[in-house]
Structure 1
Amino acid sequence: MACRISELVLDAADPERLAAFWSEVLGYVELEREEDGSIAIGPADAGFGGPQPTLVISPTGDPRPAKLRLHIDVSATDRDQDAELERLLALGARHADVGQTGEESWYVLADPEGNEFCLLRARIRPA
């Protein structure tokens, strides 16, 4: 038996804003709120423990020290890459420069708090 990723935890200065952003990006809903201000989001039909990992947006007052050593890759499920890029930018993502050459098949973006993520070219089936 092996492990699988069940949750990803993102520290955030503004958990409400980041939870709203990632909920829109992934089609997730709010699953739970903790007393410490953490907000768990995930698929509406599965919740925690389903085939897709949930995200826990956890409040922090600490400044982000540098580029994250882990980032999220996303792929569109119902449109092409360019249409999905437009949607993500309209939600508050922005282009990020991490030293790419311009020849990549993906776009490097940042969420509203500057966390880098990539929009891949491959379109995948919805979960």
Structure 2
Amino acid sequence: MSANLAATVIGTPDPPQLADFYRELLGWVEVSRDPTWVRLRHPERERPSLSFQLETDHEPPVWPQRADAQQMQAHLDIEVDDLDAETQRAVGLGASVESHQPQPGGVRVMRDPHGHLFCLFLPGN
């Protein structure tokens, strides 16, 4: 038997809006869309994909984590060629840069427009 990761699913109060952010950030294409579910994929590969499902009570995680608050369960790591340029592009699309950056250079911790954490990183980091 073999097992392959087919998709990552992100809960959000507005799946179409968040999918639009990641579609632009990653340059991926949309496979399906309705108000409660959107799926994106790489333009040259069907899987793995990135999907967004409706979660009306979504609560963004606190960063850095605290025992008394919503904790991050997972985050996306996105490799880039130019960290500063891609950070600015992500901010232009609606992301924000976190004030707490635990790793000096090569990695940037960010939030998407709905508060999910993700990291941009240079190869080798």
TM-score range relative to shorter protein: 0.7 to 0.9
CA shift digits 1:52-106 (9 cap, x unpaired): x211100111132613221100011xx4111111111111110124x43462431
Q: Report SS of the residue matched to 2:92.
A: helix
Q: CA distance change for structure 1 residues 72 and 102 in 2, over 3 Å: closer, same or farther?
A: closer
Give 1:9 deviation, angstroms.
0.4
Q: Report SS of the residue matched to 1:63.
A: coil
Tell me what 2:25 maps to.
25
Tell me what 1:67 maps to.
71
Larger mean Cα displacement after TM superposition, 108-117 or 87-96: 87-96
User: Percentage identity across aligned positions?
Assistant: 30
TM-score, normalised to structure 2, is 0.80
Tell me what 1:37 maps to.
36
Tell me what 2:45 maps to.
46
Q: CA distance change for structure 1 residues 117 and 27 in 2, over 3 Å: closer, same or farther?
A: same
Query: Higher relative CO (CA 8 A, sep ≥ 6), structure 1 or 2?
Result: 1
Q: Report SS of the residue matched to 1:90.
A: helix
1:9-20 equivalence runs, <5 A:
9-20=9-20
Asked whether the 8 Å contact 2:11–2:58 carries over to 1, the reply is no
Give 1:44 deviation, angstroms.
2.6
**What's the RMSD between the two structures over aligned residues?**
2.1
What amino acid maps onto 1:27 in structure 2? Answer: G
Aligned-partner Cα distance in 2 for 1:6–1:100: 30
Asked whether the 8 Å contact 2:11–2:54 carries over to 1, the reply is yes
Q: Report SS of the residue matched to 1:89.
A: helix
Aligned-partner Cα distance in 1 for 2:54–2:103: 34
Structure with greater strand share of residues: 2
Q: CA distance change for structure 1 residues 46 and 102 in 2, over 3 Å: closer, same or farther?
A: closer
Runs of 4+ in 1 over 4 A off after TM superposition: none
Number of residue pairs the alignment of both structures matches: 115
What amino acid maps onto 1:6 in structure 2? Answer: A
Tell me what 1:90 maps to.
92
TM-score, normalised to structure 1, is 0.78
